[in-house]
Structure 1
Amino acid sequence: MSRHVVELTDDAPPWAALPRDVSDAMKPHMSEVVGAIIEVIQRDVPAYARPLEGDFGVAVRRGVEVALSRLLLELPGSTEPALPPHARQVYVGLGKGEARTGRPMEVLLAAYRIGARVAFRAVSRIAVEEGLDPTVLMPLGESIFAYMDELTTASIEAFTAEQFRRAGERDRRRAQLVEQLVSGRADEADLRQLATEAGWPIPAEVVVAVLPTERADGLRLALGETGLVRGRPDQVVMVAPAPTSGRARRRLEHALADRRAWIGPARPWLRAAASLRAAHAAMTMPDPASVHQAEGEGPWWVRDHLSTLVLGHEPELVADLAAQCLAPLDGLRPGQRARLAKTLLSWLGHQGERSKVAAELHIHPQTVGYRVGQLRELFGAALDDPTSRFELQIVLRAGHA
């Protein structure tokens, strides 16, 4: 055989330096080398340590066969690129396949590295046995590893693109799932199918939160895989498993911190719409956060503010009740009216215990007695009537005075 080795120019691929004799020498041994590579890959890559059957087996064998055929039979002595379109698609398919199965890309890359190592050992031995000039071994090794870089790049790009595509599809499914869950009209079987497609484990109970759109940056990342987020023109809706421990509650609160979010009460997952209605009612109250200034920017749990929310649900009716119940205070100066209203609320709350009222208002017990005397003059028998006392507490707790 010829011992000629082509000189390699700076811009030529390494296989350009291989004599055509390489193809003639390797052709009878192709099946042997393919088998050796597959055997070692199955042995040394745990994820592939199974029978090469079905589409998976066809893809792996095809990848090895195309690589060896292209590199050892077609490229020696040429300046052609490593992967023409038809060959590139083989490795694009392998990269997509790994993304679809959920395996990390490192599994396929490990198989590529092992395949390159086995191929170099095998073809080096064959080259010597076939009498090729030993100087061919260096460009042969360079060619194998340069070719491996090309197919690795093709697979990584395909893997990444498929991950982005699947992530986009999953986000679309998860957003669709939110809408179906909170609509209250979806069929259970359809919801379960959509949850499976969205990769969302169905919890026994959920909470639904609403927050302003401008406060939602980074929310998906903060919630992790268990949270569902759906943006709407006027607000963002979040669905998450109902916390079953103090730690879970704190974790959800941390994700929603400083977002002015209202979190609805826990409901069975098929009744997520009820949790949304409560959260939305809280969010749409007139200036809902003003009565919770001590809690900063939220989140606020509906269940911690039920009485306030109930009172705020029909503000006009509560105002009508306040005008009726507090009419005896109408003739007082504003300062005096405010002091007596505050004393009345405390007195009702503590069931007339003067010492507790004094402690709460930071005034002397005698002052409490004096003010209660004024209140009795103004309200008369109403202060002893259970219904009147209840109505007075309602309007005073709603902020009327």
Structure 2
Amino acid sequence: MSQPLRRFTGLHIAPEVADRLRAVLPRMAEETVAAITVEVPSYTDAFSGSMGQNIENAVQMALGAFLRIATHADDSHPAGQLTAALDGAYELGRGEARNGRSIDALLAAYRVGARVAWQGLSATALEAGLDGATIARFAEMVFAFIDELSASSVSGHTDELATTGRARERYLERLAQALLAGESEQALAAHAEKADWPAPRTLTAVLLPTGQVRGLTAFFGSATLQLNADLPGLDDAESMTVLLVPDVDGPRRGGLTTALTGRRAWVGSTRPWREVHVSYDRAVRCRSLPVAEADGVVDADDHLVQLLIAADPESAHDLRRKALAPLANLRPDTAARLAETLRSWLLHQGRRDAVAAELFVHAQTVRYRMTQLRELYGPQLTDPDAVFELLVALSVPPA
């Protein structure tokens, strides 16, 4: 005989006493449901109407199964009776999880039910003349049976929550994939509804090595989406994860950067939540910027010009070659110094001392180099369109 079964079998009572105990079961079930409705508020509405009658029937069946197991009445098979009762309790736990009620509410209902049922059964046992030792054993068996039912319901409740949690995780993962793929508004709304995900105003993509993600999802909030497999646009060996963080635009963006301190991360621009694929694309492209070679946080909003130039690298390099064509016949080191001076001179709007300070040269050196550049470029240095083109071209890193 199994250990659980041994805890509530072997009650030796006369058949007529067992009949009297079974006769009070309908009243015990009714009183049990009434007490649970009063003492466990979560069940007040659930036990109303026809549902209350169904619960009474279930309680009566459970108590009846216990008496048959305890007394081996009617040539019953205790192991089979116990299995059926525990299976029923397991399904009850699963059903309560699906209905959104906590396991605490269910266990409270079991405690109330055990107390009320024992009050009725013990009174009947006393009236039937059972001795104190038998009644004490009877009480031990009743509460052992309730313990087994409770444990089985806890297992069912836990398993259902785990199953539901895994299913929701899959839905959230599909939502993240759809967002990065830039699917239609209707498709995204359907994914969000299926995942029970409260859509925020905005999302910001944060790309970082998978090993550095720990703790961030909890910090950013439960609505943060996470994806760490099959990320579009990434084909390198390093394992990467993207977090889609809700509503960290405006003043909150500083908090985002602070939270990432000490990690390698690439942060895309904040976008309306349905357009977060744009934010993700910028985060991915930030990894190719020269600044991304250093550890730390790279914020796309701080590098929009570089991202713009990097969007079409062939055109950018063609533009640089065109802009530097007047220097093509010079020695490479001379051409490099003049290009550096021209860029600084344009940025500082011709302020010779500022250029000299930036390049760590004498102001006369700047004057000499600019004389050379004016001879090479001629009127281009006073043409607004040409100056704009030169500024953009000189911002392109050398090929």
TM-score normalised per structure 1:
0.82
Q: Give SS of 2:8's match.
A: helix
- Provide Cα deviations, 1:307-332, integer angstroms capped at 9, x if missing partner: 11110111111111111211333455
CA deviation after TM superposition for structure 1 residue 218, in Å: 7.2
Deviation at 1:12, TM superposition (A): 6.7
Which aligned pairs between 1:194-205 and structure 2 lie closer than 5 A?
Answer: 194-205=191-202
* Residues 20 and 339 of structure 1, relative CA distance in 2, 3 Å threshold: farther
Change (3 A) 1:357 1:293: farther
Query: Counterpart of 1:207 in 2: which secondary structure?
Result: strand
Give, in angstroms, the shift of residue 191 of structure 1: 3.6
| 2:300 corresponds to 1:266 | no
Q: 1:62-100 deviations in whole A, cap 9, x for unaligned?
A: 542233112234423589349634322321222112221
- Secondary structure class of the residue paired with 1:75: helix
- Long gaps (5+) in structure 1: 1-7
Instruction: Tell me the equivalent position of 1:25.
Output: 20
1:2-401 equivalences under 5 Å are: 13-21=6-14, 23-50=18-45, 52-53=47-48, 57=52, 60-76=55-71, 80-81=78-79, 84-186=82-184, 188=186, 190-209=187-206, 223-234=220-231, 235=234, 236=241, 238-247=243-252, 250-251=255-256, 254=259, 258=263, 260-267=265-272, 269-280=273-284, 282=285, 288-293=288-293, 296-298=295-297, 300-400=298-398
Q: Is the 8 A contact 1:83 1:151 kept in 2?
A: no
**Cα distance, 1:15–1:164 mapped onto 2, change above 3 Å:** closer
Q: Aligned letter for 2:8?
A: W
Distance 1:67 1:9, change over 3 A: closer
Question: How many percent of aligned residue pairs carry the same amino acid?
Answer: 33
Q: CA deviation at 1:257?
A: 7.0
- Residues 160 and 77 of structure 1, relative CA distance in 2, 3 Å threshold: same
1:20 aligned counterpart, secondary structure: coil
* Structure 2 unaligned regions, length at least 5: 235-240
Cα distance, 1:126–1:388 mapped onto 2, change above 3 Å? same
Judged with a 3 Å threshold, the aligned counterparts in structure 2 of structure 1 residues 84 and 193 are, in CA distance, closer, same or farther, namely farther
Cα deviation for residue 367 of structure 1 reads 4.0
What displacement does 1:363 show? 4.3
CA distance in 2, matches of 1:157, 1:168: 16
The residue type equivalent to 1:228 in the other structure is L
Distance in 1 of aligned mates of 2:137 and 2:210: 60
| 1:92-117 superposed Cα distances (whole Å, 9 cap, x missing partner) | 22211222123321111121122223
Q: Closer, same or farther in 2 for the Cα pair 1:60/1:360, shift >3 Å?
A: farther
**Using a 3 Å threshold, how does the CA distance of structure 1 residues 214 and 314 change in structure 2: closer, same or farther?**
farther
**Contact 1:14/1:139 (<8 A) preserved:** no
Question: What code does the residue aligned with 1:48 have?
Answer: Y
Q: Relative to structure 1, is the Cα distance of residues 181 and 346 closer, same or farther in structure 2, using a 3 angstrom cutoff?
A: same
Q: Distance in 2 between matches of 1:398 and 1:106?
A: 64
Question: Cα deviations across residues 112-134 of structure 1 (Å, max 9, x unaligned)?
Answer: 12222333333222221221111
Contact in 2 for aligned 1:23/1:74 (Cα 8 Å)? no
Q: SS of the counterpart of 1:158?
A: helix
* RMSD across aligned positions (CA): 3.5
Q: CA 1:135 to 1:214, structure 2 compared with 1: closer, same or farther past 3 Å? A: closer
Go from structure 1 to structure 2 and tell me whether the alpha carbon gap of 1:142 and 1:81 turns closer, same or farther (over 3 Å shift). farther
Pick which of 311-320 and 337-346 moved more: 337-346
CA distance in structure 1 between the aligned counterparts of 2:256 and 2:209, rounded to whole angstroms: 20
Structure 1 equivalent of residue 238 of structure 2 = none
Higher mean Cα deviation, 380-389 or 163-172?
Answer: 380-389
The aligned amino acid for 2:191 is L
Letter in 2 for 1:156: V
Work out whether residues 209 and 239 of structure 1, in 8 Å CA contact, stay in contact via their aligned partners in 2: yes
Which residue of structure 1 aligns with residue 237 of structure 2? none
Deviation digits for residues 331-357 of structure 1, max 9, x if unmatched?
555544444333322221121123333
Out of 216-225 and 311-320, give the one that drifted further. 216-225
The structural deviation recorded for 1:45 is: 1.5
- For 1:161 and 1:63, the matched residues in 2 are separated by 22
The residue matched to 1:95 in structure 2 has which SS?
helix
Offset at 1:60?
4.1
Which AA in structure 1 matches 2:116? V
- Structure 2 CA distance, aligned partners of 1:252 and 1:82? 61
